[in-house]
Amino acid sequence: MKRAIASLLGLVLVAGSFAACGGDDHSAGGDAGLSTSDGSSDESLPEDVVVIDTDPAEVTALDNSFRPENIEVPAGTEVVWTNKGRNEHNVLHVDGDDWGVEVDDFRPGASYAHTFDEPGVYRYYCSIHGTTDAGMIGTIVVSG
């Protein structure tokens, strides 16, 4: 009987911990009022957004991925991408060409910076190692 009660208590504790794991108030997945950089509303924000409160916010291009891949920063924050790998990369804005860096200026060891002044969702990718929606991709969520 004691074993059954202990097992039941363990299940209740585990279930309670899963119920307590909800969305973080700072995660972009819960910010329904944000729009993409082209002005359209976007309900499919990534769930794994890392909130960065430092300026500049650092993103690393390494091993054919951006790390962290998805970040949230306050408006007015400079984001700095640094190529710390051995491969060439670029950083291209999915919805236009008003920011980003081409391969010639983003070889191993190079950095690129852009300040995001307007709230919104800015998706980007490396055209060498991905497409606009798969592979080496990232998202900058700029909060107001």
Q: Which domain holds residue 53?
A: 26-143
What confidence category does residue 39 fall into, taking pLDDT thresholds of 50, 70 and 90? very low
* Residue 136 located in a structural domain: yes
* Residue 118 located in a structural domain: yes
Q: What's the pLDDT at 29?
A: 40
Count of domains for the chain:
1
* Residue 19 located in a structural domain: no
* Residue 46 located in a structural domain: yes
Q: What is the CATH number of the domain that holds 88?
A: 2.60.40.420
* Residue 60 located in a structural domain: yes
* Residue 95 located in a structural domain: yes
State the SS3 of the chain: CHHHHHHHHHHHHHHHHHHHCCCCCCCHHHCCCCEECCCCECCCCCCCCEECCCCCEEEEEECCEEECCEEEEECCEEEEEEECCCCCCCEEECCCCCCEECHHHCCCCCEEEEEECCCEEEEEEEEEEECCCCEEEEEEEEEC
- Is the confidence at residue 21, as pLDDT, over 90? no
Per-residue pLDDT tens digits for 74-121: 999 999 999 999 999 999 999 977 899 999 999 999 999 999 999 999
pLDDT above 90 as % of the chain: 65
Q: What's the pLDDT at 43?
A: 53
